[in-house]
Structure formats: structure tokens, C-alpha cells
Amino acid sequence: MCLWLATQGSVSLLSSVCDNWILALHQILLILLVVGKWLLPIAGGVTRDELSQLLLHFIGTAADILEFTSETLLDVKDSSPSMVYVILGVWTWSMFQFPLHLSVSTSRPDEYSEGNQGVSLLARLRTDIWSMVESLFIQDGPFLVVRLTLILYFHVIHQMLIFFAIKNFLVVILNFYRLSVIYCDYKASG
């Protein structure tokens, strides 16, 4: 009986702090991913400097992912169960970037120096290119498609949805601009 009362007291205390359990679980998962990456042994020759860059990138990514699920799920959870599955699918897809850590800038100055013309564009700029691919196909691209679907098909319009749709659009456009700049610089140098 005492155990049951203690459990009920804990549940009511937690319920008073957090009334949305799905959002709380998303928050805990993202925090555990970042802290876990920090505490686990470094793999693949990633230095401490590169790990600190990666962790800062993960914090921003986690905040964007958390906003994506919390805002978009609230917008359609009652009107379209199938869209909820799409949003959760895109959320799951975006989580793949955490174990991949494609956007770590690995520094090997002797191997990829400016004067080394024998090195391909992909080898010299692989971090930038992988970061763009990650953004376009794992996070900002899919997020933009979902947000535009909410706006154009479901006619859901509010300030935060518009802001983050514009943010995702700008990131996608700037990634294509960055890719064109990299390509033009590479053609001009070779």
C-alpha cells in the first residue's frame, strides 16, 4: 500500500511538472543523445576540438528537431492521423544524423592543403559537402516539405510555422548557394 501511494505521489509530482509526456520523452531522448555522445569514447579519430564542434552542432540540431515535432504534431494531431505518421517518420529520419556525425570537420592540413592540386573537390571539401547533404536530405529539406504541406494542404498558418518554414527554406537555398560557390571556386582554381 505504501509503495502504491509513493508511486501515485511521484506520478502526480511529475504530471504537475510536465503535462505532455510525448514532448517530455522527445526532450529526454535528445538530451541523452547529446550527453551520450559526449561521454562515450570517441570513435573514428575525432579530436576533442572536433567533438566540441559536433556537440554544439547537435545542440542546435536537437532544438530544431524538438521544435519540429512539438509544433507540427500539435497542428495536425486531431485532423489527420496519417500526417502524424508522416511527421513521426520525418522525425525518426532526422534522428539518423546523430550517430552518423557527418558534419565533423576533420583537419588534415598536410593532406588537403590549398597547394595540393591532385586532391579532388570531394576529398578537400568533404565536411562541407556532407554537412550540406545532411541538411538537405536529413533535416531542413524534409522539415520544409512537411511544413509546406501543413501550410498549403492543411491550411495551418501561424507565426511559428511560417517562421520555421522560412528558416528551412533559407537553409536549403543557402546550401545550394554554398554548393555553387564551392563548385565555381574549384573550377576557377583548376
**pLDDT band at residue 16 using 50, 70 and 90 as cut-offs:** low
Tens-digit pLDDT profile for residues 33-62:
899 888 886 666 778 888 888 889 899 899
% the chain with pLDDT above 70 = 74
Please tell me the predicted confidence (pLDDT) of residue 107: 52
**Residue range 63-114, pLDDT digits in tens:** 999 989 888 888 888 888 999 999 999 999 999 988 876 666 555 544 444 5
Helix H, strand E, coil C: the string for the chain is: CHHHHHHHHHHHHHHHHCCCHHHHHHHHHHHHHHHHHHHCCCCCCCCHHHHHHHHHHHHHHHHHHHHHHHHHHHHHCCCCHHHHHHHHHHHHHHCCHHHHCCCCCCCCCCCCCCCCCCCCHHHHCHHHHHHHHHHHHHHHHHHHHHHHHHHHCCCCCCHHHHHHHHHHHHHHHHHHHHHHHHHHHHHHHC
Q: How far apart are CA 45 and CA 106, in angstroms?
A: 9
- Integer angstrom CA distances of residue 67 from 26, 27, 52, 64: 10, 10, 23, 5
